[in-house]
Structure formats: C-alpha cells, structure tokens
Amino acid sequence: PSDRIQVIAYAVLLEETLGQPVPQARVRYHRDNVTAIVEVDEAAKAELREVVRRARELRRSLQRPPVTENERLCRRCSLAPICLPEEERLLARGDLAGERLGRRPKESPRENREGAPLPRPTLFPSDRQRQTLHVVDPKARIGRSAERLLVTTEEGRQFVPIKQVDAVVIHGFAQITTQAIHLCARHDVAVQWMTAGGRFSAGTSASPGRVRQRIRQYAALTDPSERLRLARRLMHAKVETQLRYVLRATRGDPRRRKECQMGVDRMRESLRKIPNAQSTASLLGLEGIAAKAYFSCLPELLGSQVPDLLRPAGRTKHPPRDRFNCLLSFGYALIQTLVHRTILAVGLEPAFGFYHQPRTAAAPLVLDLMELFRTPIWEMPLIGSVNRRTWDVDEDFEVRPGHVWLTESGRRKALQLFESRLQESYKHPYTRQSLTYARMVELEARLLEKEWSGSPNLFARMRIR
C-alpha cells in the first residue's frame, strides 16, 4: 500500500506540474519481475488526500502513532531502533499482562504456520558500533586531522577515525582543540569532561533537542502521580537488583549468608513496601533503608584475600574516604557520563527527572536512570576485580587527608574494567534479547520515553538473574 500511495502522489504532482492528466502509474519490481499498474482515478486521489490528512494530523499530534500491525515492515525500517516495535508488541500480545513488578512473565513462544517456534526478532542493535575514547593523560592534546581525531601525548600520536567514536571523555586536564570539537559535533559525538577527582563536569550535545519529544516529557513529568508511578518502578528495579546480587554472591556460603541475613531481610521489607509508597518522601525513606542494608552486605562479598585497605567502611562520598568508596564513586561518575550522553542522544531533557531533585550539578533525569545500572554495570564487576586483586593499594590510589583519589594507573584500570563491562552481553528478562550493557542503557532510555508516549509499563523491567 505504501508504494501505491507513493506512486499516486508522484502522478498527482506530475499532473500539477505538466498541466496534463496522468491517468495511470506503474511500479516495476525488478527482483520479482512484476509490474504493478495503478489507476490514478478519483478514488485513488481521494485515498491520497486521506493519507495526507492523516500525516498532517500525526505531525500535529504530541502522541506517537501505534506500531504497525504488519511486523514485516519493521524489519527493514530504519526507525526500528527508535520505535522499538517488538517491545510494544510484547505488551500488546499480553506477554507481560498480569505480571507483577519484578516477576518474570511466562514465555509464550510465537509459532509459524507449521507450528515451529519463530525466532524473536532483534530489531534493536545488540551492540554499539562505536567506542568511547577516554583521554586520561593530563598532557594529552586532542586535535583534528581530516576525519580523524589526533591524540598527541609524550609517548606519541594516535589517530582515531571519528566514525569509530561514540564519545570523547576527557579525564582531568587534557586539551581539545576547537577543530576537534567541531568534528565531534558534526558526527554527533559527545565530548565530556570529568574532573581529575573523577566527577562529571560538563559535556557537549550536537542536537538542541527535539521539541515535541521534550513537550511530551514535560507534560508527563509535571504530573505528580506519573512521577510517583515511575519512581516506584525505578526503585523496585534498583532494590530488587541489589537484593538478587547479594543472594547470588552468598549462595552456597552459609557463613556469608548469615552475616548478610539482616541486610537481606531489610531489603526484602523495603521491596515489599515500595509498590505501595504514597509519596516520593516515603520512597526516599525506603530506598535509604535498602541502601544502608545493601552497603552493609558489600564487605561480606569480598574474599579473605582482599587487604583491609581495600575494604569499605560504610558508604562515603563527596569525597570518598577510603579506596573502595573511591572506586565506587569513580565508576558511578562513568555511568553518569554514559547515561547523560545517552539521554541527550535519545532526545530527552536531562534536567527534568521524576525522582531526584535538582540539588547538585548532576541532571535529575540522569540520576534517575543511572539507578538501574549502578549494580550491574559497576558494583558487580568492581567487587569481582577486588576479589581478583586487580588493585594496588599504593600505586592506584592517592590518599590525602579526608579523601582518596585514583592515580593515573588506577584510572586506567577502572576505565578498562568499565569499558569491558559495557561490552558484556546481558539477556533482558522481558524482551529476552541479548544486548551489551552499553546498548541496555539506550534501550532503557527509549523505553522510559515510551512510558509517556502511549506504551507504558516497559521501562525498568531489567533485573539480574
């Protein structure tokens, strides 16, 4: 039908331009060796007028149209990674119907005409095509050479084709030229700055934002009940992930499980109450109880081989006061940069969130979304690395009165750990698609937008197993 309307439109345009009737149009399908003949009569023109009217209506609308019923169309549609039709169909088919928060739905495999199971389509790319360029050396200079970034350090020069880069993150005091910033802007590559202490400082965005998307976001997130609904979903996902991690890490070890039992009970209690929280304040209280319980369990997840200097004494931040907390904070800042640029790339306004308040320089929507990823993207690999004795308590840390920083070698190790975690795949429990963690962040940002664009209840379903 779309080819038919397209060719009718061409015929009408020709008619208007040439001043002569165009009674018939033809579409040649070379692959099938078929020519389709389309009569351009009054009925066809009426059909065209109706399609144009509908297109104008959609353009004015703040709501997205529903996904097409013809699934085959989506497989070649360039909008599929943005539109996420398969995720919407999961809802429409009822695969998620009746499912309580955090409970995995039953698999209902789709079948072809012969009754054989159909593979689930994977329209959302499972891996990112480009990599993040982290520049750690304070004496580095990032310039431009044709369509490449040129990183110059005392050790030499490195050329990085801009098409291989999804973001440039500058840690500390490296310099970047205006020409390099222009090149990044032209290729939608975000440039972000982190302080030497590991805090997100600022970033660029090539796009000024998409107005209609943002109007929808503002409209939805000014509604207190919608904000609370989203905050409940988010907190449930966060606390359940923390709980599952502690249970998983202590499985088969009765001594450690016993040490964590009180924390586990408190997390379970918070989890039970979160879906009924009546205000953001009570959610904050439940989150606080669960977080305290969770962090009380973390030292138990560290093996006996871990030196005392790498063991946390509670959670300290702004600034972190021990090595473990220094590593935690650095990883969270990396997640923040990733989520920040993802939110901008998706077209949302980072400064307008639904749970966190604009108290610090960090954008509230970024703080909201990153709650989903703290445990799977950073805490889990970090604890694994500490248990593997990856960190040198002297060389990787700079201990000052009242705070601990990472040295350059510590930062390099942390970046390597973070980037390799982003490359690891994870099977989403609801869409059942395997994605790298890097892609998972974008998927959740897009699903969040669907919460107020006509397909709610897909956001924040991710949990670790």
61 binds ligand SF4 (CB under 6 A): no
| Cα–Cα distance for residue pair 83/203, rounded to 1 Å | 26
Among 12, 74, 310, 335, binds ligand SF4 (CB under 6 A): 74
CA distances from 460 to 137, 314, 318, 350, 445 (A): 37, 27, 28, 17, 9
Per the structure block, which two tokens stand in for 389? 């004795």
What DSSP line would sit under 4-38, residue for residue?
HHHHHHHHHHHHHHHSS---EEEEEETTTTEEEEE
Reduce the DSSP state of residue 355 to 3 states and report it: coil
> Which residue, 80 or 326, is less far from ligand SF4 as judged by CB?
80
Reduce the DSSP state of residue 160 to 3 states and report it: strand
| Cα–Cα distance for residue pair 369/109, rounded to 1 Å | 30
| Cα–Cα distance for residue pair 43/68, rounded to 1 Å | 24
Per the structure block, which two tokens stand in for 338? 């990733």
> Which residue, 85 or 102, is less far from ligand SF4 as judged by CB?
85
Among 7, 44, 67, 363, binds ligand SF4 (CB under 6 A): 67
**Burial of 98 (C-beta count, 10 Å sphere; 0-12/13-18/19+):** exposed
87 binds ligand SF4 (CB under 6 A): no
Q: Which stretch binds ligand SF4 (CB under 6 A): 43-51, 52-60, 75-83, 280-288?
A: 75-83
Q: What are phi and psi of 110, to 5 degrees?
A: -85, 150
Question: Shortest Cβ distance from residue 121 to ligand SF4 (Å)?
Answer: 10
| Cα–Cα distance for residue pair 381/33, rounded to 1 Å | 55
77 binds ligand SF4 (CB under 6 A): yes
Among 25, 85, 189, 334, binds ligand SF4 (CB under 6 A): 85
Torsion sign across C-alpha atoms 354, 355, 360, 365:
negative
Q: Which of residues 122-141 bind ligand SF4 (CB under 6 A)?
A: none
366 binds ligand SF4 (CB under 6 A): no
Q: Which stretch binds ligand SF4 (CB under 6 A): 66-74, 262-270, 286-294, 353-361?
A: 66-74
Question: Shortest Cβ distance from residue 58 to ligand SF4 (Å)?
Answer: 11
235 binds ligand SF4 (CB under 6 A): no
Question: Shortest Cβ distance from residue 79 to ligand SF4 (Å)?
Answer: 4
Applying CB under 6 A, the site for ligand SF4 has a residue count of 9
In this structure, are residues 105 and 96 in contact, taking their beta carbons and an 8 Å threshold?
yes
Question: Shortest Cβ distance from residue 451 to ligand SF4 (Å)?
Answer: 17
458 binds ligand SF4 (CB under 6 A): no
> Which residue, 2 or 225, is less far from ligand SF4 as judged by CB?
2
Question: Shortest Cβ distance from residue 447 to ligand SF4 (Å)?
Answer: 14
Q: Which of residues 174-233 bind ligand SF4 (CB under 6 A)?
A: none
Among 80, 234, 382, 445, binds ligand SF4 (CB under 6 A): 80
> Which residue, 8 or 74, is less far from ligand SF4 as judged by CB?
74
Among 36, 52, 79, 351, binds ligand SF4 (CB under 6 A): 79
End-to-end alpha carbon distance in the chain: 44
Torsion of CA 204, 206, 212, 216, to 10 degrees: -30
**Residues near ligand SF4 (CB under 6 A):** 67-68, 73-74, 77, 79-80, 83, 85
